[in-house]
Structure 1
Amino acid sequence: MLLQGIFPAITTPFYPDGKLYLKKLEHNVDRYSRTPISGMVVLGSTGETVMLSDAEQRDVLRVAREVAADEKVLVAGVGQESAHNTLALIEVVAKLGYDVALVRTPSYYRPQMKSKPDSLLAHYRFVADRSPLPVLLYSVPPYTAYDLPTELVAELSAHPNIIGIKESSGSVEKIAAMREATAQVKRTVSVTEIFNAVTGRMLEGTADNVASSGGVIPADALKVTSATAVATPPKRPKFKVRTKEVGFQIAAGAAQMLLPSLQAGATSAVLAFACAAPTACYEVYTAWKEGDLKLAELKQERISRAAKRIAGEFGVPGTKYASELNGYYGGPARLPLLPLTAAEKAEIESLMKDIRN
């Protein structure tokens, strides 16, 4: 499966009393669906997944899938401390219609995993062998205090159901090292005529549709969205499929290092800052993709300081508040994440003044 472009790691909305605010989740997902992002990550670190009960996780996953536009790739954060529980959640999200399973490294028994790296090999292979969805590794050392070694990533990259990694160490050097270490991986994936991703979910029913239409796709069915609002696309669009060769796919995780990460070998980015500024992040990616390095550098400079401070330092509360400035619902984070002070809000407003959608 193809992973390219920008994926906001969307936030989970709460009422002031801490209860899930699913109507605001619908609002956010609908608005993200009208931007040029490639898809969304639901229940990543920015989604406060570790703060949610099992029932709440399922509610969030269900609502996001129901509202998201069909052409957006949906990635579900499913990582649990055991391979058994991880696989159980993957089975849930597969039935809901998700496209990719994002599996973070377990961390509670970190000393044993560090002393015996084979334990993580066994964990990921167990999950990937049985998963009905393609698996995206998730290395997030700022939160797990464990960084998947490049050598281990290279070994796992040979598994046919492990399509890539979301690399959140913030190290461009690590991305370059992983790209080199996995250079032998070559896979054929399905794409549209304009080389957008085609997932297993999207292919359901397509064969009959294409056959009955002589392989013709309606012009509006796969229209690439722009920064302006567009109508929600029709369900089950007909489209013609072609193939493309890809390698092991690396998703960068730091917006302040987006351009250097792409230059080092990342093919996509899963970004907390894209919750607040999806189009601004997309502009960096598009300029790089089109080979306009000067424009890409200008677009990167525009977001770097804000991304580092808001997503990297203020974290979830900062990301939620910055999102509010661009018309999304932010709301509070759950304790122990504290609300922002008035001074912190003022700083975020200043950082975001030139980054409005």
Structure 2
Amino acid sequence: MLLEGLHLPLTTPFYPDGRLNLHKLEQNVAAYSKTPVSAIAVLSRNGEPTMLSDEETRQTLRAAVEAAAPEKVMLAGVSRDSVRETVAIADQAAALAYDAVLVAPPSLLQAADSARQSKELLIYFQAIADRAALPIVLDGTAVALPVEMVIELAAHPRILGLVDGQPTAERIAHLKQATAGIKREVTVTPVFAAVTGRMQTSQEAASMLSVKTLVGGGPALTVLPAAPTIKTRTKVVGFQILSGKTSSMLDALLAGAVGAMPAFAACAPQATYEVIAAWKDGDRALAEEKQERLQSAARYLEEEIGVAAIKFGCDLNGYFGGLPRLPLLPPGGEDRTQIELLLQGLRN
């Protein structure tokens, strides 16, 4: 699966009384599907995944993927503390036609400050990659995964890449150099965009016509279309790295990252995408200008406050943010005023 471009980490909407608001979730996904984002990540760290029950997790995953445009790569956040439960949710995501799963370190191993814990964390990722029905993307947005561990995991054929929460140029360059020998073939469109499983399913469905449509009744008939709905080709990629932070996004791209998944993208997808678009066009000066426009707002919302500020930013920019789930608190009056000022020039 191709992971290039802007990956949008979806927020999870709630009613004021804390209930899951699936209607607003569907509206957000439909709206994001009209933006130039390449992928939508459901229940990443930005989606408050630990706040949801298992049933709410299933409902959220189903509602999001059903509302998404077929050409958007869909990533499911599935992390649980045990391998068994993580694999179970990953398999549910596969049944819903997700393209890959995001796996973060379990809560009891996030520090990994001993040789034993580092080994356990390594085994956690390897066991999930071995058993899950979908390929995995390592989620290092909350805790930076040790470079040597990432290099070892990159060799696993079902581990596609990393979302790095500390994407310094030096770290990205080291990872790229150490994983340079990894080459994988992925399916893409003629313009080198990702081909999702849902796109292929849609093509297969388009080839099925009903005899009833043709002659007024009878069983289903498979009819070969005159030409395929989508044309595909292949592309060779390496271990794919995404920047998980807006403030260092351009540095990471210049060092070898293939895209980004910053929390800030949820409230300003167009402005965030413009950095990647300028970089892809080879216009470094414009990319630096676009990045500079984001810096103050992204640092304040993404790094100083977090998901509650991102949700308020969504409300300001035409998406539904709403309140976070307790114990997280919404921004206070001063913070709201500051966020409004910072986002004035970043409307979508």
Alpha-carbon separation, structure 2, partners of 1:266 and 1:72 = 20
Aligned to 2:305: 314
Once the two structures are superposed, residues 61-111 of structure 1 have per-residue CA deviations (whole angstroms, 9 ceiling, x without a partner) of 111011011110000001111111110000011101111110001131456
- 1:195 and 1:202 map into 2 onto residues whose CA distance is 14
In the alignment, the residues of structure 1 paired with residue 237 and residue 111 of structure 2 have an alpha-carbon distance, to the nearest angstrom, of: 35
Assess if the C-alpha contact under 8 Å between 1:81 and 1:108 holds in 2.
yes
Distance (Å, rounded) in 1 between the aligned partners of 2:205 and 2:305: 49
Identity, % of aligned pairs? 46
Partner Cα separation in structure 1 for residue 13 and residue 114 of structure 2: 35
SS of equivalent residue, structure 2 residue 98: coil
Identify which of 231, 243, 249 aligns with 1:252.
243
Which residues of 2 match residues 167-186 of structure 1 at below 5 A?
167-186=164-183
Task: Give me the whole-angstrom Cα distance separating, in 1, the residues matched to 2:313 and 2:35.
Answer: 17
Q: What is the Cα-based RMSD across aligned positions, in Å?
A: 1.8
Secondary structure of the equivalent of 1:255?
A: coil
Corresponding residue of 2:185: 188
The answer for unaligned runs of 5 or more in structure 2 is 208-222
SS of equivalent to 1:354 = helix
Partner of 2:51: 51
Cα distance in structure 1, aligned partners of 2:262 and 2:344: 20
What pairs with 1:76-95 in structure 2 (closer than 5 Å)? 76-95=76-95
Cα deviation for residue 118 of structure 1 reads 2.2
Query: For residue 335 of structure 1, what is the aligned residue in structure 2?
Result: 326
Residue aligning to 1:157 = 154
Tell me which residue corresponds to 1:133: 134
Question: In 2, Cα distance between the equivalents of 1:279 and 1:322?
Answer: 13
Q: Structure 1: how far apart are the matches of 2:205 and 2:11? A: 37
Q: SS of 2:345's equivalent?
A: coil
User: Which consecutive aligned stretches of 4+ in structure 1 deviate over 6 angstroms post-superposition?
Assistant: 207-211
Where structure 1 has 5 or more consecutive residues not aligned to the other structure, the ranges are 217-237
TM-score, with normalisation over the residues of structure 2? 0.91
Name the counterpart of 2:218. none
Aligned residues: 332
> What does residue 203 of structure 1 align with?
200
The aligned residue for residue 72 of structure 1 is: 72
2:102 is the alignment partner of 1:102:
yes
Q: Match for residue 254 of structure 2?
A: 263
Are 1:123 and 2:124 matched, yes or no?
yes
Contact 2:102 2:138 in 1 (8 A): yes
Mean CA deviation greater in 118-127 or 66-75: 118-127
Q: What TM-score, normalized by structure 1, do the two folds share?
A: 0.89
User: In 1, distance between residues paired with 2:156 and 2:111?
Assistant: 25
CA 251–110 in structure 1, closer or farther in 2 if over 3 Å, else same:
closer
Offset from partner CA, 1:102-161 (integer Å, 9 cap, x none): 0001131456673222222221121111222111011134xxxx4321111111111111
